[in-house]
A = this chain, B = another copy of it.
């Protein structure tokens, strides 16, 4: 066979994260590579009754086709509860359901970006977004970050000097991969720049509710007066990722395009999963559930950071996330975390090498660690093993 794929498909490679996850499925490996929520915190027993109630209430509707934009009841709950938590005053009319945030990320490139157009993203940024964007052959410009995230003056410089900027992609809360969080004044400034330069901002906020220190920051969307900010939310990190329920909150003109693109992409998401999610939110208080999650993740974070300080060589550094799932480790210049990973796997411990999180490559001396999905003793043991491996290099 000699199959001719399209130009966009020819260049697509399997994601490093997914390939790694396959390697790390072996039970003897302590993997800090994934970004999985802790499954022992899923409300499994509650879900039995929730599902039963969905079928008893209106089982036929739950199993039938429904609208592309999603079930109204769930969109109302999202507007009233989740968007209010992000300090956005909105209604279900501005909400559409997507298959996780990932689908909305991919749609964003499809909707705004022609080949060769510029996407501005953080340096580093979420690998899954960069991979989705790459299918549209954009030009990436990376905004430098300091310890508080994206530097606004650098963003402005780029906007001033770059033609055909069609999208700004940012993860303001406990960023993937760095764990950094943007201060409120920078959020406001980004919303203003978007309106000034007439460039849509995709605000990807999967971790905004998972706060260990301080209170929830207002979203960039909450400062958006003219509709240039597109907010992406998800229940994957606060409820259950297996249901794949994410959402977009955007102005009507923009939201309509997302809905039309979704119509062609898959007609609609699962009716059943939307009804189950809405029913759960009616029967239980998600914010109380989030508090339980935070308690566990915060303990694991502290344990991981103190273990790093104890076992890692002194010339490595790491971020201090105040929420979310990740910390980001910097090795001394000249080291290659992808190379070192091979050694780490021999010691049965894994992480994600940082290079793939930079849109234009480079920066091999970083890696990402996840602390949400691992028991206390494995965190200590895994970091100890990793420290031993790193000591050979640093």
Q: Which segment, of A253-261, A285-293, A324-332, faces chain B?
A: A253-261
Main secondary structure of the interface of A (DSSP, over half): helix
Whole-angstrom distance between the Cβ of A302 and the nearest chain B Cβ: 24
B5 touches A112 (CB 8 A): yes
B131 touches A264 (CB 8 A): yes
Contact of A102 among B48, B51, B102, B267 (CB under 8 A): B267
Question: What per-residue 1/0 map shows which CB atoms of A31-69 lie under 8 Å from chain B?
Answer: 000101101101011011001100110011111111110
A26 within 8 A of partner (CB): no
Known A6-B117, A36-B64, A128-B267; further 16 A-B contacts with Cβ < 8 A: A1-B251, A4-B112, A4-B166, A6-B112, A12-B261, A14-B263, A18-B68, A34-B65, A39-B60, A44-B63, A45-B55, A51-B55, A61-B242, A241-B271, A242-B270, A272-B276
Whole-angstrom distance between the Cβ of A136 and the nearest chain B Cβ: 8
A77 within 8 A of partner (CB): no
Whole-angstrom distance between the Cβ of A270 and the nearest chain B Cβ: 5
A113 within 8 A of partner (CB): yes
Q: Which segment, of A103-111, A142-150, A178-186, faces chain B?
A: A103-111
Contact of A111 among B9, B44, B251 (CB under 8 A): B9
A-side interface residues toward B, CB under 8 Å? 1-9, 12-15, 18, 34, 36-37, 39-40, 42, 44-45, 47-48, 51-52, 55-56, 59-68, 98-100, 102-103, 106, 110-114, 117, 128, 131-132, 134-136, 166, 198, 200, 226-228, 236, 240-244, 251, 253-254, 256-257, 259-261, 263-273, 276
Contact of A263 among B37, B55, B67, B131 (CB under 8 A): B131
Q: Which of A14, A40, A264, A268 has the most CB of B within 10 A?
A: A264
